């Protein structure tokens, strides 16, 4: 194995363990002989990739790596990261993609990535829809504390408002979304359309955005939704890990 592959393996181990690593960690988790693990960590330290704690003898990312991480995060904002993965998803599936944000009680479309499969209705940037009635909106609402969700939406969905959804129903949907980390909608805000969404939050900027794949509701059976949910979740996890969203740093895709 080359030194670059070995270095990548060590950094991935740090990410997985979420702490500094020792020679024993590399031996245990990567299966290297002790002499090899010791030599590898020493080389990475001498070349400026890792720093060694003189007290614990554990190795941690160096200032050089932290500076590179800072540049990655600050030279590309959250919407740029999402658009990159969404373009790949749209090319892969042929479906249309959207990036949206919360605006008051609405979800606001920011960007559209057209797919090759025709939709009866295309939603344009600047379009607003009730957040509770869309998959992107509910994915974003799953980031709100329960008390804040109730404060904002219990009055909006009060029985006398005659809304299409009760607050209790929204609360339950948001609870499920927060657990599995993806949302879906079929024939809700846009008749004839279905969507699968995820949201990602950048803890450094405080920005939270959702993105979705939209497709004809005629093909929105359980299997299709599950397949797309896995793809969208994988893309969200990639972005989440890049920006440091705690919700995406651990765990795997959950189908139900």
Residue 76: pLDDT band with limits 50, 70, 90: low
Whether 61 and 171 map to the same domain: the answer is: no
Task: Give the domain CATH number at 148.
Answer: 3.30.450.40
Handedness of CA 159, 165, 169, 175 (dihedral sign): negative
Task: Give the domain CATH number at 49.
Answer: 1.10.10.10
Span 206-236, pLDDT tens digits: 899 999 999 999 999 999 999 999 999 999 9
Whether 58 and 81 map to the same domain: the answer is: no
How many domains does the structure of the chain reveal?
2
Q: What is the dihedral of CA 27, 29, 30, 35, to 10 degrees?
A: -10
Whether 125 and 34 map to the same domain: the answer is: no
pLDDT at 101 over 90: yes
Q: Using alpha carbons, select from 87, 54, 114, 127 the residue that is nearest to residue 238.
A: 87
Residue 90 located in a structural domain: yes
Task: Supply the pLDDT for residue 239.
Answer: 96
Provide the residue range defining the domain that includes 237: 75-248
Whether 32 and 84 map to the same domain: the answer is: no
Distance CA(15)–CA(109), nearest Å, equals 33
Whether 204 and 119 map to the same domain: the answer is: yes
Is pTM, for the whole model, over 0.85?
Answer: no
């Amino acid at each position: 194995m080359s030194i670059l592959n070995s270095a990548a393996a060590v950094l991935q181990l740090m990410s997985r363990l979420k702490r500094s690593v020792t020679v024993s960690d590399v031996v245990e988790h990567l299966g290297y002989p002790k002499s090899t693990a010791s030599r590898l960590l020493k080389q990475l330290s001498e070349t400026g990739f890792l720093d060694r704690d003189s007290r614990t003898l554990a190795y941690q990312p160096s200032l050089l790596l932290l500076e590179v991480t800072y540049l990655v995060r600050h030279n590309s904002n959250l919407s740029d990261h999402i658009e990159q993965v969404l373009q790949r998803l749209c090319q892969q599936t042929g479906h249309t993609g959207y990036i949206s944000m919360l605006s008051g009680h609405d979800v606001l479309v920011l960007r559209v990535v057209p797919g090759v499969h025709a939709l009866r209705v295309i939603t344009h940037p600047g379009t607003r829809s009730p957040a509770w009635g869309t998959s992107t909106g509910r994915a974003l609402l799953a980031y709100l504390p329960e008390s804040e969700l109730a404060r904002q939406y219990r009055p909006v969905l009060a029985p006398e408002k005659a809304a299409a959804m009760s607050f209790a129903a929204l609360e339950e949907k948001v609870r499920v979304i927060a657990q599995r980390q993806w949302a879906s909608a079929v024939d809700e805000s846009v008749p004839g359309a279905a969507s699968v969404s995820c949201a990602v939050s950048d803890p450094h900027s405080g920005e939270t955005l959702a993105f979705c794949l939209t497709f004809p509701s005629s093909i929105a059976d359980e299997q299709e939704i599950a397949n797309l949910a896995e793809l969208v979740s994988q893309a969200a996890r990639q972005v989440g890990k890049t920006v440091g969203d705690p919700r995406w740093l651990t765990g795997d895709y959950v189908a139900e």
